[in-house]
């Protein structure tokens, strides 16, 4: 008889990740703003069809950079949805969930706010970030659907334990950019509550109902739903059958 497989490893609380979260969140908003300045400024692509292609190409480059930084720091991230999905998918327990919700995510928000303040101080003409161009409920549906599609792919790749860093990052970066382009005219295609809050804070509309619904509530719910769907679909067949049998026996 073959030995029983070891129990799945659970996520642990790693306090040092808070510093990495803050730093990466600040760097993320700065790099994103600098790319736009570069494309529409020195490179002179403003208003030309090639501008979007250049932005996508540069964004793929810095997505690889941030993916490497996330690995080098042991799991720090610039996006609250990433750490939330990881906490839920890892089944780390209440302590991990609370640490993520009340320590890591606030650190990311603070980092993003500091990053926006820094980039606006250094480059006053950087702009004011993406804005909602439709009604709140329409925007929430668009941002939620975009987030759900990105989370589905990201969590699936993680569960499949793809070993190739290049292929994993290439797939996620192309997919994220595709979804971003499709939703950019509606909500900005941000899919990052920390970045959205930071730019909204700079504009002074970070406490409005529209902002909270579109850039916080919708993507957070979409993330939880996406993780649940992937977890259910990737469960081994035997475990699914056991759960069905248990539910039937309880009803009886």
Q: Find the mean pLDDT for residues 9-36.
A: 88
187: confidence class by pLDDT, cuts 50, 70, 90: very high
**What pLDDT score does 6 carry?**
38
Specify the 3-state DSSP secondary structure of 208: coil
Which class in CATH covers the domain with range 16-235?
Answer: mainly alpha
- Name the residue among 187, 120, 189 with its Cα closest to residue 150: 189
pTM here is 0.86
- Name the residue among 217, 10, 16, 211 with its Cα closest to residue 107: 16
So where are the chain's domains? 16-235
Cα torsion 42, 171, 21, 232: sign: positive
pLDDT digits (tens, 9 = 90+) for 150-174: 999 999 988 877 778 999 999 999 9
13: confidence class by pLDDT, cuts 50, 70, 90: confident
């Amino acid at each position: 008889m073959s030995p029983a497989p070891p129990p799945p490893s659970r996520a642990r609380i790693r306090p040092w990740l808070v510093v990495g979260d803050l730093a990466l969140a600040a760097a993320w908003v700065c790099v994103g703003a600098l790319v736009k300045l570069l494309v529409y400024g020195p490179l002179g692509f403003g208003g030309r069809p090639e501008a979007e292609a250049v932005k996508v190409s540069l964004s793929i480059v810095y997505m690889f950079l941030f993916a490497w930084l996330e690995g080098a720091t042991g799991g720090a991230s610039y996006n609250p949805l990433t750490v939330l999905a990881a906490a839920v998918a890892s089944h780390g327990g209440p302590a991990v969930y609370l640490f993520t919700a009340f320590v890591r995510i606030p650190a990311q928000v603070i980092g993003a706010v500091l990053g926006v303040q820094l980039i606006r101080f250094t480059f006053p003409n950087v702009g004011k970030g993406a804005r909602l161009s439709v009604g709140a409920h329409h925007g929430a549906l668009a941002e939620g659907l975009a987030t759900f599609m990105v989370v589905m792919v990201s969590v699936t790749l993680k569960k499949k334990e793809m070993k190739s860093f290049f292929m994993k990052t290439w797939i996620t970066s192309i997919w994220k950019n595709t979804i971003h382009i499709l939703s950019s005219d509606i909500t900005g295609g941000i899919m990052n509550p920390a970045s959205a809050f930071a730019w909204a804070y700079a504009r002074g509309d970070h406490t409005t109902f529209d902002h909270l619904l579109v850039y916080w509530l919708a993507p957070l719910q979409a993330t939880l739903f996406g993780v649940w769907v992937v977890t259910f679909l990737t469960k081994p067949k035997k475990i699914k059958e056991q759960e069905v049998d248990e539910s039937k026996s309880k009803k009886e």
